[in-house]
Each structure stands twice: as structure tokens, then as C-alpha cells.
Amino acid sequence: MFSQAVAQQQVPDLDQSDAEGIEINGLIVDETITKAGRDFYELFFQQWTTPVSTISYSLFIRERPMNGLGSQIVVYINETEIFNRAAQPRYDVVEALAKHAVSIAYQYVQNYESIVQQLGNEDQQGSGIF
């Protein structure tokens, strides 16, 4: 009985509103498994500059092995797939793919933010009553 009371006192009581305020924005997650995938991640990470954005997002770089030489590189922003290409183990090919993926991801974040802002405009908001 006494140990339960002590255990209850040591656990901090987190309010639900405090947990909602904690957010990590712009996280880049590496889920690659081969050297070519790791090279892609490192090149992507070096070239990525976080855009000034009010939306929260996370980038996931995943790799799926393919038959023969190579693998499939897939880049997600949150749950949306934005880039999907087959990668060869050649460094110059991986470098070109990383540059292309960075430009696509940057455009996606900018376009998504402009769409969110447009939907938040007074003209697009309503009460739902005609």
C-alpha cells in the first residue's frame, strides 16, 4: 500500500493540454537499409533546407530492396508519398535522385501551405448553413 502511494507521487501528472502543445516539426526519419539508401539519405539531408512554414510535417525516407541490383527509394511527407524511384548503387545516380527529391519535397511543403492558407480564408470558411 505504501509503495503504491510513493509510486503515484513520483509520476508527474501531465495535463492533456500540455501534451498537445509538444510538437516536433520538420523531422527527417531515415528508414534505409543499404549503402545506396544511406547515401541517398545523407545527400538529401545535406541539401535540405527547412522552408519557413506554419504547417507541421515530418519527412520519412524509406527503402525497399528490389530484385537484382538496386532498391526503391520512397519519400513521404507525413503519410503522403511524394517521391518513388528505383535507385542504382552508383553514387552519381543517387546524388541526382536526392537533388530531385529535395526539390519535389520543398515544392510540396510550399504548395500544401498555400492550400491550407487558402482554405482558411474567410471566403472558404462558413457555418455550413445555406
| Domain spans in the chain, listed from the N-terminal domain onward | 24-115
Per DSSP, the residues of 20-81 read HH----SEEEEE--SHHHHHHHHHHHHH------SS--EEEEEEEE-SSS-EEEEEEETTEE
Q: Is the pLDDT of residue 12 over 60?
A: no
pLDDT, one tens digit per residue, over 77-99 is 988 999 999 988 889 999 999 99
pTM over 0.75: no
The architecture CATH gives domain 24-115: 2-Layer Sandwich (3.30)
Q: What pLDDT is attached to residue 3? A: 44
* Residues 65-88, mean pLDDT to the nearest whole number: 90
